[in-house]
Amino acid sequence: MATAEALYLIPAAVLRNLSDKLYEKRKNAALELEGIVKQLAVAGDHDKITAVINLLTNEYTYSPQANHRKGGLIGLAAVTVGLTSEAAQHLEQIVPPVLNSFSDQDSRVRYYACEALYNIAKVVRGDFIVFFNQIFDALCKLSADSDANVQSAAHLLDRLVKDIVTESDQFSIEEFIPLLRERMNVLNPYVRQFLVGWITVLDSVPDIDMLGFLPDFLDGLFNMLSDNSHEIRQQADSALSEFLQEIKNSPSVDYGRMAEILVQRAGSQDEFTRLTAITWINEFVKLGGDQLVPYYADILGAILPCISDKEEKIRVVARETNEELRGIEADPAEGFDVGAILSIAMRQMSSEWESTRIEALHWMSILLNRHRSEVLVFLNDVLETLLKALSDPSDEVVLLVLKVHACIAEDPQHFRQLVVFLVHNFQLDHSLLEKRGALIIRRLCVLLDAERVYRELSTILEGESDLDFASIMVQALNLILLTASELSDLRDLLKQSLVNADGKNLFLSLYASWCHSPMAIISLCLLAQAYQHASSVIHLLVEEDINVKFLVQLDKLIHLLETPTFAYLRLQLLEPGRYIWLLKALYGLLMLLPQQSAAFKILRTRLKTVPSYSFKEESIRRISSGIPYSQFNYGGGGGGSQILEEGDLNENPNSLDMHNGINFASKLQQFQQIQKQHHLHSKSQTQSRFVSTSSAKDIQIAEESKRSADLNRPRSRSSHRGLGHM
C-alpha cells in the first residue's frame, strides 16, 4: 500500500530516469524527487515521506540491477536534502541502506554510496553521530578498497565526518574505543593510515580524553612502527610522541596497563619498535612512581636483554633505565616483589650476552644488600644458578658471581653451605676445577678471608670419600697456596707453624686433608719449615707413590722452589749445618727425580751452590761434644732465618716427636693411614679393570670353545670310543 502511494506521488518518468544508466538522467530525477519531498515536508506529511523512502530502499537500493541501486542511493540523498532540518527523524530509514551499499560488489555502487552519505552528512551534521560507529566501520573497509575512485570518495567522506565529530558534543568516545581496539590489529596499510588519522584527530579535540583510553590502542600503534611503509611508521611514531608528551604533562596516567604492553614490545624483532618501547619505559620509570612498583620485575625483564642490543641507541637508553630502576628503593610492603625480580635476574644469567649477565648479577647483589632475608628464602635456587655461572667464559662474570657468593656467605651457616656446594660442583665438573678453580679460590680468599676459606675446604676434603677427587682437589689448593699473591699472608702464617700458635693451628687444620697428596704434604712441610717431617715423609714414599702424576707435581715444586715464595728456604741453604733436615729433604727429592729431567738439573744446580758441609763430620762433632745441635750458635745467630725448625732439635729423643705442640709422629701415622687407603683404592681399581678385562676374555674364549665343540660334535662318538680302548 505504501509502495503504491509512493508510486502515485512520484511521476513515472522520474522513477524511470532514476534507474537510467546515464548519470545525468539519474541526477535530474533526483532533483525532481527533492522538490516533491520539500513540498511534503512543508505540508508535514511525514507518512508519505516515509513511503517514498521505503520505495527507494526496497525497489532501488536492494534491487539486483546496479543502475537501480545507484538511483536509489542518489534518491535517498535527494530526500535528505529535501527534508533539510527535518531529516533527523528519518535517518533511521535513510542511513542503513546507504551503509549496506558500501559492501556492494559493483565499485560504482560503492562510489555513489560514498557520495550519497556525504550529501546526507552535510545536511544532518551532528544528528549523524548516532551512526558514527557503523559509518566508521564502513569507512575503515572502504579506505582499503580496490578501486581508486572509491578510495578517493571515501577520503572525502572521511574528512567531512572528522569535521562533524570534532564540532559535536554528542560523540561518545566510550562507545567508539572497543571498535577502534578491534580494528587496530588490521595489517592493511590503507586501513592503518585511516586509523592513525582518526586517533590523531580525536586526540586533538580538547573534550575527548584519548589519553585515558591509550592502553586500549597503544599496542596497535606500536605494531605499526614495524610497517613496511615509511609513511605509516612515521605517522605512528608521531602519534606516539604526542601521547608521550601528554603523559609527561598529565597528573593522572594508567602506567600499569601500558607497562605490560611496553614490556612485550621491548622484545620486538623490529629495531625501531624496541627503541621506542625502551624509550617509553625509561620515561615511565622516571614518572610512574608507586604505580609501577608491581611491574618492576616485568620492566627489568625487558631492560636486561636490551642492555646487550646490537643497536647502540637502544643500549644507551636501556642502561640509563636500568640505573634509574636500581636507584629506586621500593618496599615489599608496597608491592615490590623481591622473588619475581630475583627470578628475572636468575633467568637472565643464561643470556648469551655478557653485558646482560653482568647486570643480572648486579641486581642479585643489590637485592641481597637491600632485602637479604627475602632473597635467602630462595637460597638453593640462587646457589644453583650462581654455581652454574662459575663456568661462564667471562672472567668478569665469574668475579661478580663470587662477589654475590661472598655476600651470601657472610652468615656462618651459609658460608659452610657455599663451600660444600662449591666442592660438590668441582667434583661433578673437573673441567671447572681445571679452568676456573684458581680464579674462584683466589677470589673467595680475598672476599671471605683466605684462612677461613682454606680451613673450611680442608675440613670438607678431610672426610671426602672420593679419594681420587680429594687428591686432585688438594693438589689444586696446594698449588694456589704456593703461588697466589692473595695468599701471601697465609703463607707467612704457615712459616710460623713451629713457633706461633696461630700458624700451628692452621698447619694442623690443613694437614689431614693435605695427606691425600704426598707432594702436597711435602710442600706444606717445606712452607712450614718442618723440614725433618718433610724428610720423613719422603723416606716413607713407596713404589706406588712415585708415578707419573707424582713426578709432574714434583717437577712443579722444584720450579716453585726457585720463585720468591721460597726465597727464605734458599737463603737457609747458606747455613747447611743449621738446616741439616732441609738439605736431606731436598737431596731426597733429588734422588726421586729422573736424572735427565729438567727439574733434576735445576735442583742439582741449586744444591751445588750450597757451602760444603759433611753430614758425617757434624754427626761425630755432636756425639763427641754431647751438646744438642740446637744449642750451637752460628755467627751470633744473625744469618738466615730466626725461626727454629723441627730439625734444630736434632736427635734429642725427648723432643723429636713434639715441637710447639705438634706431635709429628702422630701426624706421620696419619699420613701413612690415609696413603694406605689410597693404595688400597688404587689396587681395587686395578683389580676391577683386570677382572673386567679377564671376564671379557673368558667370555670370548668360552664362545670360541663352544663354536669349536659344535664343529666337532659329529665325530665325537668315534673319538670317545678310541679313547676307551686306550
The 10s digit of each residue's pLDDT in 34-86 is 999 999 888 888 888 998 999 999 999 999 999 999 999 999 999 999 998 88
Please give the average per-residue pLDDT across 349-367, as a whole number.
95
Amino acid identity, position 435: K
User: Please, where are the H alpha helices in 429-542?
Assistant: 430-448, 450-462, 467-483, 488-495, 501-514, 518-528, 531-540
**What is the residue whose three cell numbers read 673319538?**
719
Local confidence band at 717 (pLDDT 50, 70, 90 cut-offs): very low
Q: Which residue has the higher pLDDT, 717 or 400?
A: 400
pLDDT for 590 equals 95
Q: SS in 3 state form for 59-128?
A: HHHCCCCHHHHHHHHHHHHHHHHHHHHHHHHHHHHHHHHHHHHCCCCCHHHHHHHHHHHHHHHHHHHHHH
637 vs 649: CA distance, rounded Å: 16
Other beta carbons within 10 angstroms of residue 493's beta carbon come to 21
- Burial pattern 690-700, b for ≥16 Cβ within 10 A else e, equals eeeeeeeeeee
pLDDT for 345 equals 95
Residue of 140, 205, 139 lying closest to 173 (CA atoms): 205
Please give the average per-residue pLDDT across 142-146, as a whole number.
91
Q: Are residues 221 and 196 in contact, defined by beta-carbon separation less than 8 angstroms?
A: yes
76 vs 80: CA distance, rounded Å: 6
Q: Which residue has the higher pLDDT, 63 or 640?
A: 63
**Res. 320: pLDDT tops 50:** yes
**What is the residue whose three cell numbers read 516515509?**
50
List CB contacts of 262: < 8 A, sequence separation 6 or more.
222, 277, 280, 281, 284, 302
Residue % of the chain over a pLDDT of 70: 87
pLDDT for 543 equals 80
Q: Are residues 172 and 190 in contact, defined by beta-carbon separation less than 8 angstroms?
A: no
Phi-psi region of 627 (alpha: psi -120 to 50; beta: other; left: phi over 0): beta
192 vs 183: CA distance, rounded Å: 9
Amino acid identity, position 76: L
Residue of 477, 440, 433, 475 lying closest to 457 (CA atoms): 477
The C-alpha cell of 696 is what? 671379557
| Centroid of chain to Cα 366 | 17
Local confidence band at 2 (pLDDT 50, 70, 90 cut-offs): low
**Res. 587: pLDDT tops 50:** yes
Local confidence band at 494 (pLDDT 50, 70, 90 cut-offs): very high
Between the alpha carbon of residue 247 and those of residues 194, 214, 242, 283, 347, the distances in Å are 24, 10, 9, 9, 32
**Res. 651: pLDDT tops 80:** no
Q: Which of 303-317, 351-365, 377-391, 630-644 has the lowest mean pLDDT?
A: 630-644
Q: Which residue has the higher pLDDT, 485 or 331?
A: 485
Q: What is the mean pLDDT of the chain?
A: 86
pLDDT for 710 equals 54
671 vs 516: CA distance, rounded Å: 8
Residue 663: strand, helix, or coil: strand
Beta strands in 347-415 (DSSP E): none
Local confidence band at 169 (pLDDT 50, 70, 90 cut-offs): confident
pLDDT in tens, 598-639: 999 999 999 999 988 655 545 444 433 333 333 333 333 333
Please give the average per-residue pLDDT across 373-396, as a whole number.
90
pLDDT in tens, 527-566: 999 999 999 999 998 787 788 889 999 999 999 999 999 9
Residue 632: strand, helix, or coil: coil
Please give the average per-residue pLDDT across 579-600, as a whole number.
94
pLDDT for 99 equals 94
Residue of 6, 26, 9, 5 lying closest to 17 (CA atoms): 26
Residue of 73, 85, 92 lying closest to 44 (CA atoms): 85
pLDDT in tens, 423-459: 999 999 889 999 889 999 999 999 999 999 999 999 9
**Res. 643: pLDDT tops 80:** no
pLDDT in tens, 174-185: 999 999 999 998
346 vs 357: CA distance, rounded Å: 9
Local confidence band at 659 (pLDDT 50, 70, 90 cut-offs): low
User: Please, where are the H alpha helices in 225-311?
Assistant: 230-249, 255-265, 271-287, 296-306
pLDDT for 545 equals 79
* CA-only gyration radius of the chain, Å: 48
Instruction: Quote the DSSP letter at residue 56.
Output: I
Q: Are residues 311 and 269 in contact, defined by beta-carbon separation less than 8 angstroms?
A: no
- Specify the pTM: 0.76
Residue of 362, 340, 336, 337 lying closest to 349 (CA atoms): 362
pLDDT for 613 equals 64
pLDDT for 637 equals 34
**Res. 722: pLDDT tops 60:** no
95 vs 448: CA distance, rounded Å: 82
Q: Are residues 114 and 157 in contact, defined by beta-carbon separation less than 8 angstroms?
A: yes
Other beta carbons within 10 angstroms of residue 137's beta carbon come to 15
Q: Are residues 330 and 336 in contact, defined by beta-carbon separation less than 8 angstroms?
A: yes
Residue of 155, 204, 203 lying closest to 180 (CA atoms): 203
Residue 55: φ, ψ to 5°: -60, -50
Please give the average per-residue pLDDT across 197-225, as a whole number.
93
**Res. 137: pLDDT tops 90:** yes
Residue 43: strand, helix, or coil: helix
Between the alpha carbon of residue 489 and those of residues 451, 493, 683, the distances in Å are 9, 6, 40
Burial class (CB in 10 A: 0-12, 13-18, 19+), 652: exposed
Please give the average per-residue pLDDT across 233-259, as a whole number.
92
**Res. 323: pLDDT tops 90:** yes
385 vs 357: CA distance, rounded Å: 12
381 vs 376: CA distance, rounded Å: 10
24 vs 541: CA distance, rounded Å: 121
